[in-house]
Chains A and B, each alone.
Chain A
Amino acid sequence: MLVVKNLTKSFNSPSGKVTALNDVSLSIKTGEFASIIGKSGSGKSTLLSMLGALDVPTSGSIDVDDIDIAKLSEHKQTSYRAKQIGFVFQHYNLIPNLSALQNVMLALEFGGTPARLRKGRAAQLLSDVGIDEDQQMRKPSRLSGGQQQRVAIARALANHPAIILADEPTGNLDSETGQKIFDLLHDLSRSENTTIIAVTHDMDIAGKTDRTFILKDGKITTK
């Protein structure tokens, strides 16, 4: 269960104080597939970075299974990200000089999986998302966008996270591939009972999720 209460984030910019998120409250049940939509600058990415413990809010709380992640120390936040959160980015963000397999193994290393178990687990995860053995040895530059995003999803799933945060996961893909990636995420939320929160501007995709939150000028409205 994810409960966000009165979340506010403001920055100091040269043109004055900017409030990216203004008193946002929402709750998402475990295993739900939620989407957040909104225009550029509406605060989507800021909200996602707060949920992923990448940044700390100015005020408010984020409770994940009754633990307020906003109040964790930096070290515990890192550990929280490693074990409880899986990230899927628009630009995939795979490490370019590591193979698909090694990219997944890296996440397993950070999650604390013993070295001897990493390779088998990574190979299993990759084949689960549809990357065959031959492709697993390739570096990201030798994989298509869709394949790279599948590797990124395998990496996000590596440590059995409670929540997967996806930032425009289909934004760089053609609609057909985007649909496949969406289906993959959707299936996972069902089979693994993983909470998925996806930021998107694709209304088609947003329409298919369990819940959709609309962000406008840092405030949230449930559809």
Chain B
Amino acid sequence: MNVVTRGIKNALRSPIRSGAIILMLAISIGLVLAMLVARSSVEAKINSVKATSGTLVTISPAGVNGFAGGGNPLTSDQVAKISTTAHITSSVSSLSDQLGTSDTNLTSSLELGSFGARQQRFDSSSAPSLPAGDTTGSTDTARPAPTPRISVTGTTDPNSVSATGGTLTISSGASIDGSSSSNVALVGTDLATKNSLKVGSTFTAYGQTITVSGIFSSGNTFLDSGIIMPLKTVQTLTSQAGAVSSVKATVDSSDNVSSTVSALKTSLGSAADITSEAEQAAASVSSLQSISSLALAGVIGATIAGAIIVLLAMIMVVRERRREIGVIKAIGGTNSKVIVQFMSEALTLTIIGAIVGLGLGVLVSGPMTTSLVQNSQSNTSSTTDATGPRGGAGFVRAFRGGINQIGSNLTQVTASVTPQTFLIAGGLTLLIAIIGSAIPAWFIARVRPAEVLRTE
């Protein structure tokens, strides 16, 4: 039996006391692991949130918002500048237009209503609005009865039109290739019903025959009354070569959004209005980051607690066995042999505690991470809702999509126990044992062998 075996044997000398020490240690080591797991899964989620949400930058021509406002569309040069800006991984360009009764044989599925009537009250192709008090002309002849228009979106990616920010739902037929220039279209389900359009049907727009490639359904009445076509097709049909009315660019990480926005502002100057979701993303990530630092504090706290448990237990053991230590020294045991013996005793307790604790940690880390994240999610949604939507329809869509994405990210934080976390937990356990036996070792070295001769 060597010195290490004696230490291991001593660790189990008093089953009740050892059991109590092991249990306390197991709880603290379990907590270390649970906190490590929580931290690593939250960190992983932070990275994925940074990479996926709040990374959208919307660039519109200055003064344009949806179909409102005025100004010149973005040019192909400007679009090229955007797509070559650092940190931008992809960009979707679109050009919006509206079809009036003279442009198409289709009838809008939207009712004009008082909102639409008010928006179109200035419209007249033949005459400006009549000055007040002029009674010579008839309003009916000067201003034809307003009719709702059909929105046309030319895009390089039809999915970007989706209201939720996800994939556009094609209810029949097939989607279109955004990079093509053929006369094909996706028709909203409401518009298709109104005009009895099916996959393969044709309709007229801008004096050309367009083939219906598919019918989409977004659940949004405005969108479902519109048409989606490839960008180049719309540019050709409307004689606006290279013109773009909106670019949605995706940045590689939400960390880089603000720098990318600054870079775009510099390169595009006053020609474009740029909006981003950086603030919402930061709010979402910041709540996750606070969980992460909370978890880190938990790891440190639990490690210290574990070290103190081992420390106090070993001080108790050393004091109790002072005489025994003296005897071992008196019969020729060196300081180092006695210290190694007590350290292996401490290590044995710690390892058993670690095995029980790691098992415990695996059990509790899942529910613990979930509860930490769910609590913070309710905080996040209440704070982001308060900022409220602003801007036009496109921006609201993007904003809603972003919020949905952030919300689902938070609930999807999964507690995973990776070999790496286990390794870190193991390392911390070793640290606990070393710290926990360092001071007792000093006590051991100070025990004078002559004490054994005291005959009390």
Contacts and interface: CB of A to CB of B under 8 A. Distances in A.
Contacts of A105: 1
A45 B454 contact: yes
Interface residues of B, number: 25
Contacts of A107: 331-332
Interface of B: 1-2, 6, 9-10, 13, 323-324, 327-335, 337, 448-450, 452-455
A189 B257 CA distance: 91
A52 interface: yes
B455 A97 contact: no
A87 interface: yes
Given A97-B13, A102-B1, A87 B330 contact: yes
13 contacts: A54-B330, A54-B452, A78-B329, A82-B331, A87-B331, A87-B452, A91-B455, A93-B330, A95-B328, A98-B1, A106-B331, A110-B333, A168-B455
B326 to A, nearest CB: 8
Interface of A: 45, 48-49, 52, 54-55, 75, 78-79, 81-83, 87, 89-91, 93, 95-98, 102, 105-107, 109-111, 115, 155, 159, 167-168, 171
Contact of B450 (A49, A83, A95, A171): A49
Given A75-B334, A110-B333, 9 more contacts: A45-B454, A49-B450, A78-B335, A87-B330, A89-B327, A91-B455, A98-B1, A98-B6, A107-B331
A54 B332 contact: no
A116 to B, nearest CB: 13
B238 to A, nearest CB: 94
A78 B10 CA distance: 23
B327 A95 contact: yes
Contacts of B331: 81-82, 87, 106-107, 110, 155
Nearest to B456: A91
Contacts of B335: 78
B453 A54 contact: yes
Nearest to A94: B327
A29 to B, nearest CB: 24
Contacts, number: 74
Task: Pick from A82, A93, A107, A171 the residue with the most CB of B within 10 Å.
Answer: A93
Nearest to B333: A110
Nearest to B9: A97
Contacts of A171: 455
A107 B1 CA distance: 12
A97 B449 CA distance: 20
Contacts of B453: 45, 48-49, 54, 89, 167
Given A78-B329, A82-B332, A93-B327, A54 B450 contact: yes
Q: Which 10 A-B pairs have the closest CB atoms?
A: A82-B332, A110-B332, A54-B450, A49-B450, A55-B450, A93-B327, A45-B453, A54-B449, A81-B332, A97-B13
A158 B9 CA distance: 23
B340 to A, nearest CB: 13
Nearest to B334: A78
B108 to A, nearest CB: 93
A174 B329 CA distance: 29
A95 B324 contact: yes
Given A48-B453, A54-B453, A89-B453, A83 B332 contact: yes
A168 B455 CA distance: 9
A123 to B, nearest CB: 14
A158 to B, nearest CB: 9
Task: Pick from B9, B10, B331, B452 the residue with the most CB of A within 10 Å.
Answer: B331
A81 to B, nearest CB: 5
B331 to A, nearest CB: 5
B324 A96 contact: yes
Contacts of B323: 93
Contacts of B324: 93, 95-96
Contacts of A115: 2
A190 B329 CA distance: 28
A81 B453 CA distance: 14
Contacts of A98: 1, 6
Nearest to B1: A102
A110 B329 CA distance: 10
B454 A79 contact: no
Contacts of B9: 97
Contacts of A90: 455
A91 B326 CA distance: 13
A193 to B, nearest CB: 21
A81 B450 CA distance: 12
A95 B449 CA distance: 14
A106 B1 CA distance: 8
A114 to B, nearest CB: 12
A79 B13 contact: no
A89 B452 contact: yes
Nearest to B331: A107
Contacts of B454: 45
A75 to B, nearest CB: 7
B455 A79 contact: no
A97 B1 contact: no
Nearest to A55: B450
B455 to A, nearest CB: 5
B15 to A, nearest CB: 12
Nearest to A167: B453
A112 to B, nearest CB: 9
Given A95-B324, A97-B10, A78 B455 contact: no
A90 B454 CA distance: 10
A167 B330 contact: no
Contacts of B327: 89, 93, 95
Contacts of B10: 97
A83 B47 CA distance: 65
Nearest to B332: A82
B333 A167 contact: no
Contacts of A52: 330
B388 to A, nearest CB: 72
A107 B330 CA distance: 10
A102 B330 CA distance: 17
A167 B324 CA distance: 16
